[in-house]
Each structure stands twice: as C-alpha cells, then as structure tokens.
Amino acid sequence: MKPENENTNLDELISKAIGDKKLAFNFQQWKKDHPKQVADYKEQTASKSHKLIRYAGILSAAAMILLAVMLLPTISDNDAQPVEYQAKILTAKISLPADVPTIAKLNIIFQKYDMQAVDTFCEQAANRTGLQPEKMTARQLLKEMETNSDNTEGNDHENRSYNNTDDMHNAA
C-alpha cells in the first residue's frame, strides 16, 4: 500500500531526529554476555527432547499392552475348556471323516443289507475311535424291538446273511 500521508520535509526531520543509526547485533558476543540464559535454553530444549522420547516409549508400551489385551481372549479361548472335553473334540476332529458313522453311511448300509449290518458297522466304528456308546446299542435296541413285535412281521432283510465287513466298508 502506498503511504497517503507522506510529507517529505517532516519525514526527513523525524528521521534525522531519531534515526540515522546503523545498528548491528553481534550474537556471539551476546551469548558470551548471557551464559545463564543460554544454559537454561539448552537445558530446556534437551529435556523437551527427552520428554518426547519418554512419551514415545510409554505410548508404544501402552499400545503393546492394548494389543495383548485384545488378543488374549482369542488365544486363551481353547485353554478355557476342560482337558477331557478338548481331547474329545480333538479325537472327533481326527476320526470323523473316516471312522465315525454318519447318517448317510448308515442309510446306505441299511438299504443295501439290514439293521444288523448297521449295528455291526457302528460297533466296529466305536471300537476304532474309542467312542463307546454309553446307552443302549443298536443291537440291543433291535432285539428289544424284535421281542416287542413278537416275531410277527416278516422281514426279507433278516434272511440275508451278513458276514463280510469289507463289503460294508465298501458300501460306506
């Protein structure tokens, strides 16, 4: 912005009255004359750097703790279960695809042979996996049903003989 109030004569008079001073500042000399202030400044700036480093350390430690707290339930989820239960799950996971009878397998065996063949298959599977049924077996259930029906109904499947377990496995 161009000054609006230039009065050359007055400006010169004021400049001559108070100005015309060539000033130079010697900072090195000033530092020598003010050692205490310089030392305070250095101490402050140094402690500021140390504070920053310390805060960074605290922050990173806090982040690690937070991360550990977040991950802890995921890591210890399986550990919270009883040991026996974990063993059963492990056994089931390993033996399920090959040995444990499934509904589909049993259905195929029953359609191809008879109920007795189903029971035999289940018993063999139980022996291999170690998961013995605690309640009534299929064979016992079958006998009970036969007793109840009093042998009145004829069943073609009963007349079939079933001796070869390899056939059953092939069928499964």
Partner 1 sequence: MNSELQTKLVNAAKSGNIECFGKLCENYYSTLVAIAYSILGDHHLAEDAAQAAYAKAITALPKLKDGDKFAPWLARICRNTATDMIKKKSRQYTTNDLSQLKAPDEYNDNRPLIRQAIKMLEPSEKEIICLRYYDQMSYQQIGEILGISSPAINGRLKRAKQKIAEYLKRNDFSEFEL
Q: How far apart are the first and last CA of the chain?
A: 99
165 contacts 124 by C-beta, under 8 angstroms = yes
Nearer to partner 1, 37 or 165 (CB): 37
Binding segment for partner 1 among 34-42, 96-104, 109-117, 146-154 (CB under 8 A)? Answer: 34-42
Which residues does 108 contact at the CB level (< 8 Å), separation at least 6?
171, 172
Rounded Cα distance between 170 and 172, Å, is 5
Nearer to partner 1, 2 or 93 (CB): 2
Binding segment for partner 1 among 30-38, 55-63, 135-143, 155-163 (CB under 8 A)? Answer: 30-38
Q: Token pair for residue 142?
A: 């079958």
Binding segment for partner 1 among 45-53, 55-63, 111-119, 157-165 (CB under 8 A)? Answer: 45-53
Rounded Cα distance between 142 and 155, Å, is 13
Q: How far is the CB of 76 from partner 1 (least distance, A)?
A: 46
Give yes or no for residue 1 binding partner 1 (CB under 8 A): yes
